[in-house]
Amino acid sequence: MTVGIIGSGTMGSGIAQVAATAGSRVLVYDTKVEALERSRSKLEKILNRLIEKGRIDEGKKNEIQGNISYVNSLSDLKECGLVIEAIVENLEIKQAVFTELESYLAASAIIASNTSSLSIASIAAALQKPERCVGIHFFNPAPLMRLVEVIPAIQTSPEVLQSAVETIGSWGKSVAVAKDTPGFIVNRVARPFYGEALRIYDEGIADFATIDHAMKALGGFRMGPFELMDFIGNDVNYTVTETVFTAFYFDPRYKPSFTQKRMSEAGYLGRKSGRGYYDYAEGASKPSPTEDKTLTNTIFERILVMLINEAADALFMNIASAEDIDNAMTKGVNYPKGLLSWADEKGIDWCVDRMDALYEHYREDRYRCSPLLRRMREQGEVFFNDQPI
Ligand code: NAI
């Protein structure tokens, strides 16, 4: 099957590499010729680096490049059985592209969007055959991140969903199927990692370095929340939070932080601007954390239980299966453990007690315990075993 990619920016280029590496013939289209040229030369560099590292040989490089053609017109995608769109995040533009694209494609072709924040239902609505539309959400960088979320819209046919899951699985990716709701799985469940860390800082409980240290040393996370926000970019991370918050009709659980907003406004975007929560200038020294055991444990447990509560609530609201929620967080954002397995390990009692203690203290809806955790405690259930551990 020939795969079409629309948009040859960061994500489109990465997805094209994934499909071509798996042996698919790939046609890449972008409105900007320069973007196509950039994509081609970037791939050349990436493949040369993979050869240097001994991951692929010259033959594989030629095969991958040979599988990809760069085309100048949307109509050139007519032979594709699957087209994945990765253009600018704008509903009207995506809808216009989908409407035109559909006029060129065979009736059986699948049209997918890599959108992070728009609903698949709204994009599918632009099509004559909305049942052929599905969300296929890769993570950046697409060739390295193992997870892909596949999102059926209410219009999507079961055959299209199954075919999308099979194709992405055949490309060597781990698929998590998610309901068409804001943030899907990862961008929803991960919110407290940033939001609760910012809240702890905003309350003056600890500084950035201490919060990061707590999550790395006690939680085993590869990066602390502030290091990760600096890595992602405070502008990008803030926008995701604000988008999720707005899309959830201002649920206080997702409320953005003024601290991050100001960082973004000031241009303290993180690594890419040389300064964020930390200073990335040459020779700048990194502040040392406070290594107080009680303090770091309080920070770690508070952020962890908020993450667990979010994961449990995603399951409660049928966003995805327990397996897919855990899979999504370990493979989409490299968490050291799945959050629901972590809940089992800490004990459902512990989770409910911690959430209730936070709620008792703050009396804010943000800290409400998921009804699922409460019900599981009453019934002595755990997420992944038949018997309580
Ligand atoms: P990007 O800005 O790097 O690339 C977008 C490309 O689309 C550009 O080359 C642009 O010329 C092209 N384009 C714009 N309008 C077009 C049109 N009408 N027809 C054809 N090409 C057009 O953007 P990026 O970061 O690759 O994002 C693309 C999509 O993927 C967005 O929907 C975004 O939300 C989503 N996404 C982005 C992630 C990220 O970390 N960057 C992660 C997951 C999803």
Q: How many CB atoms lie within 10 A of CB 169?
A: 13
Give Cα 131 to chain centroid, integer Å.
24
Do 67 and 214 lie in one domain? The reply is no
Last residue of a domain, one of 177, 199, 221: 177
User: Is the separation of the CB atoms in 244 and 191 below 8 Å?
Assistant: yes
| C-alpha 309 – ligand 1 centre gap (Å) | 32
pLDDT band for 225, please (50, 70, 90 cuts). Answer: very high
| C-alpha 85 – ligand 1 centre gap (Å) | 8
N residues, the chain:
389
Last residue of a domain, one of 116, 151, 177: 177
Q: How far apart are CA 290 and CA 212, in angstroms?
A: 11
Do 172 and 192 lie in one domain? The reply is no
Question: Tokens 């690594």 appear where?
Answer: 271
Do 154 and 205 lie in one domain? The reply is no
**Active-site position among 102, 149, 196, 227:** 149
User: Is the separation of the CB atoms in 99 and 115 below 8 Å?
Assistant: no
378 a catalytic residue = no
163 a catalytic residue = no
Ligand 1 lined by 296 (C-beta under 6 Å): no
Ligand 1 lined by 333 (C-beta under 6 Å): no
| C-alpha 10 – ligand 1 centre gap (Å) | 7
Ligand 1 lined by 96 (C-beta under 6 Å): no
Q: Which residue from 8, 88, 231 has its CB within 8 A of the most atoms of ligand 1, so it is best to mutate? A: 88
Copy the structure tokens of residue 345: 């390990």
Do 170 and 295 lie in one domain? The reply is no
| C-alpha 195 – ligand 1 centre gap (Å) | 26
Do 160 and 46 lie in one domain? The reply is yes
Copy the structure tokens of residue 325: 């929620």
Note whether residue 268 is domain-resident: yes
The pLDDT tens digits for 111-122 are: 999 999 999 999
| C-alpha 158 – ligand 1 centre gap (Å) | 27
Do 195 and 48 lie in one domain? The reply is no
Question: What's the rounded mean pLDDT across residues 149-173?
Answer: 98
Q: State the closest ligand 1 atom to the C-alpha of 113, by its place in the atom list counted from 1.
A: 32
Whether the pLDDT of residue 128 is over 80: the answer is yes
User: Is the separation of the CB atoms in 309 and 163 below 8 Å?
Assistant: no
92 a catalytic residue = no
Collapse the DSSP code of 27 into the 3-class scheme (helix H, G, I; strand E, B; otherwise coil) and give the result. strand
Do 229 and 164 lie in one domain? The reply is no
Do 118 and 211 lie in one domain? The reply is no
Question: What's the rounded mean pLDDT across residues 271-279?
Answer: 96
User: Is the separation of the CB atoms in 110 and 164 below 8 Å?
Assistant: yes
pLDDT (0 to 100) of residue 167: 98
Do 115 and 195 lie in one domain? The reply is no
Exposure on the CB side of residue 119, measured as CA atoms within 13 A: 14
Phi, psi of 112 (to 5 degrees): -120, 150
Whether the pLDDT of residue 338 is over 90: the answer is yes
Do 127 and 14 lie in one domain? The reply is yes
Q: Please name the residues in contact with 187: beta carbons below 8 A apart, sequence gap of 6 or more.
A: 116, 117, 240, 244
Question: What's the rounded mean pLDDT across residues 242-251?
Answer: 96
pLDDT (0 to 100) of residue 386: 52
196 a catalytic residue = no
CATH code of 169's domain? 3.40.50.720
**Active-site position among 24, 163, 187, 237:** 187
CATH code of 323's domain? 1.10.1040.50
Q: How many CB atoms lie within 10 A of CB 35?
A: 18
pLDDT (0 to 100) of residue 332: 94
Ligand 1 lined by 143 (C-beta under 6 Å): no
Element (DSSP H or E) covering residue 202: helix 191-202
The two counts, helices (H) then strands (E), for the chain are 17, 8
Residue whose CA lies nearest to ligand 1 atom number 3 = 9
Do 222 and 270 lie in one domain? The reply is yes
**Active-site position among 116, 119, 234, 264:** 116
The pLDDT tens digits for 51-69 are: 999 999 999 999 999 999 9
pLDDT band for 385, please (50, 70, 90 cuts). Answer: confident
Average pLDDT, the chain: 96
Query: What's the domain count of the chain?
Result: 2
Residue whose CA lies nearest to ligand 1 atom number 35 = 115
Q: Which residue from 8, 17, 30, 244 has its CB within 8 A of the most atoms of ligand 1, so it is best to mutate? A: 30
| C-alpha 274 – ligand 1 centre gap (Å) | 24
Whether the pLDDT of residue 388 is over 70: the answer is no
Note whether residue 119 is domain-resident: yes
Whether the pLDDT of residue 44 is over 50: the answer is yes
**Structural domain harbouring 28:** 2-177
User: Is the separation of the CB atoms in 95 and 102 below 8 Å?
Assistant: no
Q: Report which of 130, 131, 148 is spatially closest to residue 139, judged by C-alpha positions.
A: 148
Copy the structure tokens of residue 383: 């997420």
| C-alpha 371 – ligand 1 centre gap (Å) | 38
Ligand 1 lined by 11 (C-beta under 6 Å): yes
pLDDT band for 15, please (50, 70, 90 cuts). Answer: very high
